[in-house]
Structure 1
Amino acid sequence: MKSKTIAIIPARGNSKRLPGKNTKFLGGIPLLVHSIKYAQKFSFIDDIYVTTDNLEVKNVALQFGAKVIDRPTEISGDFEPTVSALKHVLESISDEVENVVLLQPTNPLRPENLLEEAFQLFSKSNSDSLFTVSRNHDKLGKIINDKFEPFNYTIGQRSQDLEPLFFENGLLYISKANLIKNDVIISDNAFPLEVNHIFAKVDIDTQEDFDYAEYLYNKIINHNS
């Protein structure tokens, strides 16, 4: 039996800061559908699963061609790590899965060929996971005893001379299924794929985040279609 590569989209129903965000319409379709449609573009994705505790999310996912795994209440809380949901999906299906692509619905906008590029790099690497990162150009510091202490620069230093720092942007993750079964998504030898694209700044938790995603969607995607 061929080992599969599957995409998993975790989409709970009880968002506190932006209620119903995963089914909120962006560009004419529910938010989570952007990730479903993105995964459907790539032939190496054998199946697409949405894991959810919410009936509305379930119905939307089924309507747009994804399979659904009902997520138990005990792993649907605000503080439950994402890996619990991924692990539950793997435990709920009988297929032999080799690779898991994690697509978060809160990152609905992705460069068109990013997943193809990422999967090719992952397949050629000796890493058992890959995740996307972006360069941070901010002058960062800590406040200790009411005093600001620079972290990645010295006062007066130019921004362009900063030591490069990167942040995990959430656009996509690829992991070996065996890794997830051991409660890990990003391993010690994970491949950090640098993506410096405006879409990397979109991660929807609030209405302001959603408004920004809508602005970019209309400016870039609608404009080019």
Structure 2
Amino acid sequence: MTVLAVIPARGGSKGVPAKNLAPVGGVPLVVRAVRACLAARHVTDVVVSTDDAAIADAARSAGAEVVLRPSAIAGDTATSEAAVIHAMDTFGAMRGKDADVVLLVQCTSPFITAGDIDGVTSAVTEDGADTALTVAPSHGFIWRQDSPGAGSGSDGHGVNHDKANRPRRQDRPQEYLETGAAYAMRAQGFREANHRFFGRTALVPTDPARVLEIDDPHDLARARALAPLLDPALLPTAADIDAVVLDFDGTQTDDKVFVDSDGREMVAVHRGDGLGTAALRRSGLKLLILSTERNPVVAARARKLQVPVLHGIDRKDLALKQWCDEQGVTPDRVLYVGNDVNDLPCFGLVGWPVAVASAHDAVRSAARAVTTTPGGEGAIREIAAWLLGPGLDITSSPHHHTLDQ
């Protein structure tokens, strides 16, 4: 049986510009959706329908096929159904066969899981439903105003309850909220009905804690804050990357500066980080220290570590992209370690943005992984242990030494 997952991801978005490429947990929304579909046991093919070249590139790199959507069905008024039908037609022409079951998976639901996708698929392929959707159990009392926008002068009435009779939660029928994350349909029935709720519709409950649809910047901010709590712990290994790029201040230091009476500045670095960096260098991974700091302490530390350095850099993302080109390294296979907001452009460029534990909240939210150790306290050694395995001793040395600036 051919089960085709279609992920609509057009380029235009008024609420959140370039929304489908916005990173949550360090991973673009469209890539998160592709990965969930690829991990689902019952899905045989994954297609992203888009009109945007950058989204297409991201989808292909994540392992999906791409269907380029014509402008006539890519505007603000275009329906998801139209995008799915077009994707089905294009898929059939490419493969010479039609899908038996088609899924509509929304990348604006960042916490969708492979289990959610398998759940709606099984309802159709195994349980006899014609259509299925993910829902979240709801116990709330819903109200509606008679005259929307009329303010306190209008009368409010209960939608799922009588104002004069409010039964206990356990005495009320269970209700469900449509999550907007995943839908499954028998392909032929979908073509005939041209909507996603024909025939017998199965409700597939999902975890309410994971239900979030991104429509505006506030939704995106909430998703980024929740990602460290809801995403499964996933740490990189040496097989995932070709290069490690390290910020300096706040990453290899604790972001403090010591100033003596003559105005000379010093910073403290951690010996454990030096050992971790040496292990990374010996492993054959390409290394770079990249910093906006113009003081010679950065170059001095790089010389001691025997690591190439670029410092005094205003646009770190441009410097990083040029370095990747020169080294023949694909940015998707770069691990970049940072701590502050000036690292965010680099986070958007690489495949593995990593924040140290003491990083700014915005940086932690944009990271794909976060160390348990603060900057300047052994965070680099911790990352080296992720990449090189438990054979690297990560017991942090309590000793620091200082570098004159």
Alpha carbons of structure 1 residues 61 and 154: separation in structure 2 relative to 1, 3 Å? same
- C-alpha distance after superposition, 1:133-164 (max 9, x if no partner): 12222222222251112222233726625443
Match of 1:206 among 216, 236, 246: 216
Runs of 4 or more off by more than 4 Å in structure 1? 222-225
Does the CA-based 8 Å contact 1:86-1:180 persist in structure 2? no
Matched with 1:172 is 182
Q: Matched residue of 1:44: which SS?
A: coil
The code of the aligned residue for 1:150 comes to G
Alpha carbons of structure 1 residues 159 and 206: separation in structure 2 relative to 1, 3 Å? farther
Matched with 2:34 is 36
Matched with 2:231 is 221
Q: Matched residue of 2:145: which SS?
A: strand
Which structure 1 segments of 5+ residues have no match?
none
The code of the aligned residue for 1:168 comes to E
Q: Which deviates more from structure 2 when the two are superposed, residues 76-85 or residues 181-190?
A: 181-190
Matched with 1:83 is 81
Matched with 2:195 is 184
Does the CA-based 8 Å contact 1:107-1:170 persist in structure 2? yes
Match of 2:8 among 7, 10, 17: 10
Q: Supply the distance in 2 between the matched residues of 1:223 and 1:67 (Cα, whole angstroms).
A: 27
- C-alpha distance after superposition, 1:165-223 (max 9, x if no partner): 322112211111112323122213111112243112x1111111111111221123255
Alpha carbons of structure 1 residues 70 and 15: separation in structure 2 relative to 1, 3 Å? same
The code of the aligned residue for 1:20 comes to A
Does the CA-based 8 Å contact 1:127-1:191 persist in structure 2? yes
- C-alpha distance after superposition, 1:40-81 (max 9, x if no partner): 113432211000111111111112111111101111121221
Q: Which deviates more from structure 2 when the two are superposed, residues 138-147 or residues 32-41?
A: 138-147
Matched with 2:161 is 153
Does the CA-based 8 Å contact 1:61-1:67 persist in structure 2? yes
- Aligned residues between the structures: 222
- The percent of aligned pairs where both chains have the same amino acid is 23
Q: Supply the distance in 2 between the matched residues of 1:108 and 1:172 (Cα, whole angstroms).
A: 11
Match of 1:137 among 125, 130, 139: 139
Q: Supply the distance in 1 between the matched residues of 2:54 and 2:168 (Cα, whole angstroms).
A: 46
Q: Matched residue of 2:100: which SS?
A: strand
- C-alpha distance after superposition, 1:115-146 (max 9, x if no partner): 23333332222222111112222222222251
Which structure 2 segments of 5+ residues have no match?
148-153, 236-405
Q: Matched residue of 1:171: which SS?
A: strand
Q: Which deviates more from structure 2 when the two are superposed, residues 9-18 or residues 148-157?
A: 148-157
Name the structure, 1 or 2, with higher relative contact order (CA <8 Å, separation 6+): 1
Q: Supply the distance in 2 between the matched residues of 1:223 and 1:37 (Cα, whole angstroms).
A: 15
| Alpha-carbon offset, residue 4 of structure 1 | 1.3
Mark the structure with the bigger radius of gyration.
2
Matched with 2:128 is 126
- C-alpha distance after superposition, 1:9-62 (max 9, x if no partner): 000111111111100111112111011011111343221100011111111111
**TM-score (ref. length: structure 1):** 0.89
**TM-score (ref. length: structure 2):** 0.51
C-alpha root-mean-square deviation of aligned residues, in Å?
2.0
Alpha carbons of structure 1 residues 111 and 39: separation in structure 2 relative to 1, 3 Å? closer
Alpha carbons of structure 1 residues 43 and 163: separation in structure 2 relative to 1, 3 Å? closer
Which aligned pairs between 1:95-110 and structure 2 lie closer than 5 A?
A: 95-110=97-112
Does the CA-based 8 Å contact 2:40-2:114 persist in structure 1? no
Q: Supply the distance in 1 between the matched residues of 2:37 and 2:230 (Cα, whole angstroms).
A: 20
Alpha carbons of structure 1 residues 75 and 159: separation in structure 2 relative to 1, 3 Å? farther
Matched with 1:61 is 59
Q: Supply the distance in 1 between the matched residues of 2:124 and 2:17 (Cα, whole angstroms).
A: 35
